Structure 1
């Protein structure tokens, strides 16, 4: 068999494997989200933000199943997502929303885990954030608010984050009238917890950091990072815009647990070195794998 055909078959196999993994994670994430809503938040009249929050309010007022409104209200945003972001996003979102709607319907009459408002808020927010984070990490969404915000962002002088915040502020204000102001405040707390858990789920607990170092002692610092941290380094060519001097820039990627040791290494070898450290969500390929240290 020609080598080109073998490569194509391998790529197709890998593509199918990634698709299967993404599909499974979207389904799992949607089911986890349904558990958070049905067993913690909704029975205690605590809302999520976005379209799901609107669905909870309408379901409470009409006494109709929550899953039906989650599905129906998100249909327009699946279409908008296809137009604004792409086919893969739209299909993943359609799968996630359908799974969430069905799972919510199945769990509708299951007894809630707790009726304590604080426990429901904290654990509901944590579980909700994990579920939504898994879906987003797999390339989909469970709520049309962000798609709507992206659309409005093109016509309004506000960022996507500001539009989402404003939209959720309206939802939680309405919740104060429909339920109680205490439950509206608990809803805001649950949303905040979920928001933080989404970040952790997407980025992972072992958060990586990109490091840039500019120093005349670049060779010694680079070798020390290799020997004492077990991390690979790359030397980039730079030029000072003000002085015009050529500079070597050290680039490496570390974990947050290694940050303190790296700053110590740099300060020991050159206390005047320029050091910039920033968070990065994901690292793939290359030689990021940690080596043995000396």
Structure 2
């Protein structure tokens, strides 16, 4: 193990603007149009998941959507009505506490989702196979929800509650949402049957994973830390054979006090095997650590041309 000393120039950190300043930042027209298009597409995708796969097979989603599905089943009133009515109090709360843009984006998503499920209600389910319905319903549900989140909106009021609770509790937004959904999905066993509750959990898990995939993308990035005496050769090989730039950091051994050079670079998931091959070839005893990165922005991450 080493204690790494990174010597880089760092200007005085710029504090984020206050909430009131953020709320008054005006979005560009093209950005507004892009958000609207993606929120509409995402909400339609979720509507397809509900009415074409999940609801006809008595499978529910979590949050307000799940409550709306069970209430519709018990009252025989269209789901779209409850999706809109149940979310209104949370939208008002979000408008007052989180921000105008987020609340309006969520309102648009909820309206489109309510209209979509109402229009698709007469359409027959694509499959009567409960397992296929859970799998493909979860895929469409996760993809649609992820698209809406990337556009800066939401389709469920429980996320607004989770955001507000996160400010005054040690629990994260994801933990709060999962805690709430645990009880909502479990209640499906009393309304429908326990096998339907278990299939609902399967659909929710698939949707959860697809949301992550939608937000992070297929081309996952990885950070690489390499400590080697042959740092110059390894760095040149990464640049020449992978087309990736490298950064040399100054490190010092915590026990020996020896000065070390640490190579830092960002690669894609598909380049990991080739990077390991390069390091092993040039220094079989080099230290190599690889970690996942959810987002990469700025700098010169774009791949250089390899001749």
| TM-score w.r.t. length of structure 2 | 0.83
Separation (CA, whole Å) in 2 of partners of 1:98 and 1:224: 54
More helix by share: 1
Partner of 2:23: none
> 5+ unaligned residues in a row in structure 2: which ranges?
1-26
Give the CA deviation at 1:108: 1.7
Secondary structure of 2:245 counterpart: coil
* Range 201-210 or range 46-55, more displaced: 201-210
User: In the alignment, does 2:84 pair up with 1:71?
Assistant: yes
Higher RCO structure, 1 or 2 (CA under 8 Å, sep 6+): 2
Partner of 1:7: none
Separation (CA, whole Å) in 1 of partners of 2:282 and 2:99: 49
Separation (CA, whole Å) in 2 of partners of 1:212 and 1:157: 32
Closer, same or farther in 2 for the Cα pair 1:72/1:249, shift >3 Å?
Answer: farther
Closer, same or farther in 2 for the Cα pair 1:239/1:72, shift >3 Å?
Answer: farther
Instruction: Please point out which of 227, 231, 255 is paired with 1:214.
Output: 227
What RMSD in Å do the two structures reach over aligned CA positions?
2.4
Secondary structure of 1:279 counterpart: strand
> 5+ unaligned residues in a row in structure 1: which ranges?
1-13
Closer, same or farther in 2 for the Cα pair 1:176/1:266, shift >3 Å?
Answer: same
Q: Is the 8 A contact 1:84 1:147 kept in 2?
A: no
Closer, same or farther in 2 for the Cα pair 1:245/1:141, shift >3 Å?
Answer: farther
User: In the alignment, does 2:305 pair up with 1:292?
Assistant: yes
Partner of 1:269: 282
Q: Give per-residue Cα distances to partners, 1:196-235, cap 9 Å, x unaligned.
A: 1111111111212122323333222111111111112223
* Range 148-157 or range 60-69, more displaced: 148-157
Give the CA deviation at 1:247: 4.0
Q: Give per-residue Cα distances to partners, 1:247-292, cap 9 Å, x unaligned.
A: 4332222111111111221222233433332222333443322233
Task: State how many pairs are aligned.
Answer: 283
Separation (CA, whole Å) in 1 of partners of 2:276 and 2:148: 36
Secondary structure of 2:288 counterpart: strand
Partner of 2:55: 42
Alignment of 1:178-257 (within 5 A): 178-239=191-252, 246-257=259-270
